[in-house]
Amino acid sequence: MSSTKFPVDADAIRELASLLDETGLTEIELEHGDAKLRVARGTVATAQSVSAPAPVATAIPASAPAAAEADTGHPGAVTSPMVGSVYLSPEPGAVPFVKAGDSISEGDTLLIIEAMKVMNPIRAPRGGTVKSVAVENGAPVEFGQLLMVIE
């Protein structure tokens, strides 16, 4: 085994482990370029043979951040809280929940992310104007991926 250590974002791992608890998922894997981050909940046997969930993570560093990741630092960035498929409207052929230029209020539904056959509405964390929508209807999204920017 090599003695070279990969830099690991402990906060990202904690956030993903927390997301496992919130959603009941057993595994989350993110890939961006050459970088991969996988957090899985397994079982660990104790001396008393009692099983308990334990998060496990592996990371492979990226060579350079993508431009879309740079926008996630915008104060109005709305990022995906989960892995899934994004839907911009409540049903096929319907008007999108929001589009660039729309004025929105905190709590308004921005889009839906389908994960494991569950439709999860993503709500506006604050009011403002939708500056841009960074995803396409029906596209797969990853945890932390930029969805839209609110000004």
The pLDDT tens digits of the residues spanning 115-147 come to 998 999 999 999 999 999 999 999 999 999 999
Residue type, 58: T
Write the single-letter amino acid at 21: D
Q: 14: helix, coil or strand? A: helix
Rounded to the nearest 10°, the torsion over CA 16, 9, 64, 111 is 20
Where do the structural domains in the chain lie, given as residue ranges? 10-60, 67-150
Q: Hey, what CATH class is 67-150 in?
A: mainly beta
Instruction: Render pLDDT for 34-87 as a digit per residue (tens, 0 to 9).
Output: 667 777 766 443 333 333 444 444 343 343 334 444 456 778 899 999 999 999
pTM of whole model > 0.85? no
CB atoms closer than 10 angstroms to residue 104: 19
C-alpha span between 97 and 138 (Å, rounded)? 14
Q: Could you give the residue ranges of the DSSP H alpha helices within 36-98?
A: 67-71
